[in-house]
Structure 1
Amino acid sequence: MPLQLTSFSLTIHNHVAHLVLNRPEAMNTMNPAFWHELDAVLTELHRSGEARALVISSTGKHFSAGMALDVFGGAIQMDDQSAEGRAAIFDLLGDLQATFTKLETLRIPVITAIHGGCVGGAVDMVTATCIRYASADAFFCIQEINIGMVADVGTLQRLPKLMPMAVVKELAYTGRRLSAQKAMQYGLVNEVFDTQEATLAAALQCAAEIAAKPPIAIWGTKQAVNYARDHSVEDSLRQMGWLQGSIWSNAHVREAVTAMKDKRAGEFPPLSPLKTFGD
């Protein structure tokens, strides 16, 4: 059954999924529907195995202005009047964090094409993706400190793995904007392009290149890189041995080498669909 989406549009073409934030009139803010739909989309992409790369882009003036203000106005309850209410905040944040973590654990790479403002929760989101391209007008802002709170859905945990710690602290303490050019200098952004259109084109081109590789090898590479980020070299090498042993395919290697010699696209089987006991 097709997903019914109001905050996004989703297409899959030549094994590349393209998810577009499509509430430009609201600056693509993250209302409750955003969270429900993003979680559902990522769950389905992970399950199906149809897509081999995911591009996330946006519409309107800004990529996303972050959490919708009506969330703080009662759409989601944040009860600070009792110990029980404050304890419930822990579980609420855990649900939000888990949705963005699905970007990291998704079986395929995720590329973001960012233009205009990438603010607050949008920074949380893009830091969980694999590759970030930006247009020249893009900027990043840890907006939470400007509205009296701590960024709590991944920015403060992932950004220090991507940028110098002192820069992260400056941005997190002041709420200043970081330009696309500076973001590239610091390592947050892979490349900066003149226009929004050029940014998206580059993201889709990168996704197409990824989709042409053996999906299981891409899956294994993503697993290894993410594991190495959080573990020692010794532990990561050990994990690499188990990982390679579990996914190695002589047939895939032969097909990749033959395709390269013949100057043609390789033909590789997709990732197997996932099924649960409840299916």
Structure 2
Amino acid sequence: MPAPDPNASAAAGPALSVLSVQVERDRGVGWLWLDRAEARNAMGRAFFAELPQAIGALGADPAVRAVVVAARGPHFSVGLDLKELGSTLAGGPTASGEDQATDPTAPRRSSPAARAFATRRSVLAMQAAITAVADCPKPVLAAVHGACVGGGVDLVTACDIRLASAEAFFSVRETKVAIVADLGTLQRLPRIVPAGAVAELCFTGKDVPAERARALGLVNDVLPDPEALWAAAGAMAAEIAANPPLAVQGTKAVLRASADRTIAEGLDYVATWNAGMLQSDDLVEAMTAFVEKRSPRFTGT
């Protein structure tokens, strides 16, 4: 299945156009495009407001069976928009009493505790936006080209599968700018790559090229260029979408549940899951199609 044209407006089904994210639907695959190319897809307030809405809409749409997160412009994302979010992360305005005397409308300097509380509240809200991607019931693929820095890594580690183009690079850059990564990388990256690699990437903040990322297991495959990347992501998503959706979504749910359980607990969980899901119409269709030697037609029921 060819990828939608990243330089075109939304097409192939109903679309949701917003400030930083654009959604497209095409034959069972939902495309979520980071759409702030002029700012190298830096993540600002609009992004964190729109991301959970967009991924939520795709997750709730029964016509969508897999999701691809991709980006317009030359880069996937350079991470947080520090120009826009800097004051937010610092706890908001800190006008002095002297400032307020000359300008009564100036906000009063807040206490360190109040600023810390405001910062924590902002970080939790941004964490929730990224977690919405991880919580999507459909498989989510990340198609990464160009720079994937800081918050970009937070986003792609919340996805189930990652593909990259040859010129892509990844950087857990927060350490270099005096920040501890706090939107999910430090929690999700250790579940994807070995502990030593996590330490190297996070302590150094170095740029990791696509081939090294593949060697570490951070990405599943590396494609020659962005066009090949989008085509491969679309083809893989279409392959997933062709499978029975209840079984695919059930597999994702069981994998997530088993990650925090013992093997015995995970086996018990999947036994309970299948006790209900083995009664699906899609299972009957799979068996019937096998006997009749034809391609199955899955409906998600």
When normalised by structure 1's length, the TM-score is 0.90
**How do 1:146-185 residues align onto structure 2 when only pairs under 5 Å count?**
146-185=176-215
Residue of structure 2 equivalent to 1:71: 84
Question: Which region of structure 1 is more displaced relative to structure 2, 241-250 or 129-138?
Answer: 241-250
Q: Show CA shifts across 1:249-275 (max 9, x none).
A: 35312312444566654322247xxxx
Residue of structure 2 equivalent to 1:46: 59
Identical pairs, percent: 38
Counterpart of 1:224 (choices 240, 254, 267) is 254
Amino acid at match of 1:188: L
The answer to whether 1:199 aligns with 2:229 is: yes
- In the TM superposition, residue 71 of structure 1 has moved relative to its aligned partner by 2.8
> What is the aligned-residue RMSD (CA, Å)?
2.0
Equivalent-residue separation in structure 2 for 1:109 and 1:179 (angstroms): 25
Residue of structure 2 equivalent to 1:140: 170
Residue of structure 2 equivalent to 1:30: 43
Equivalent-residue separation in structure 2 for 1:201 and 1:214 (angstroms): 22
Equivalent-residue separation in structure 2 for 1:55 and 1:264 (angstroms): 29
Counterpart of 1:85 (choices 107, 115, 119) is 115
Equivalent-residue separation in structure 1 for 2:267 and 2:88 (angstroms): 46
Residue of structure 1 equivalent to 2:220: 190
Residue of structure 2 equivalent to 1:99: 129
Residue of structure 2 equivalent to 1:12: 25
Residue of structure 2 equivalent to 1:128: 158
- In the TM superposition, residue 8 of structure 1 has moved relative to its aligned partner by 2.1
Q: Determine helix, strand or coil for the equivalent of 1:192.
A: strand
Amino acid at match of 1:22: D
- In the TM superposition, residue 89 of structure 1 has moved relative to its aligned partner by 2.4
- In the TM superposition, residue 4 of structure 1 has moved relative to its aligned partner by 4.1
Q: Show CA shifts across 1:220-261 (max 9, x none).
A: 000011122222211111111111112223531231244456
Equivalent-residue separation in structure 1 for 2:291 and 2:209 (angstroms): 43
Q: Which has the larger radius of gyration?
A: 2
Question: Which region of structure 1 is more displaced relative to structure 2, 179-188 or 246-255?
Answer: 246-255
Which blocks of at least 5 consecutive residues in structure 2 are unaligned?
Answer: 1-13, 93-109
Say if 1:76 and 1:166 are closer, same or farther in 2 by CA, change over 3 A.
closer
The 8 Å contact of residues 32 and 75 in structure 1, kept in 2 or not, is answered as no
Q: Determine helix, strand or coil for the equivalent of 2:123.
A: helix
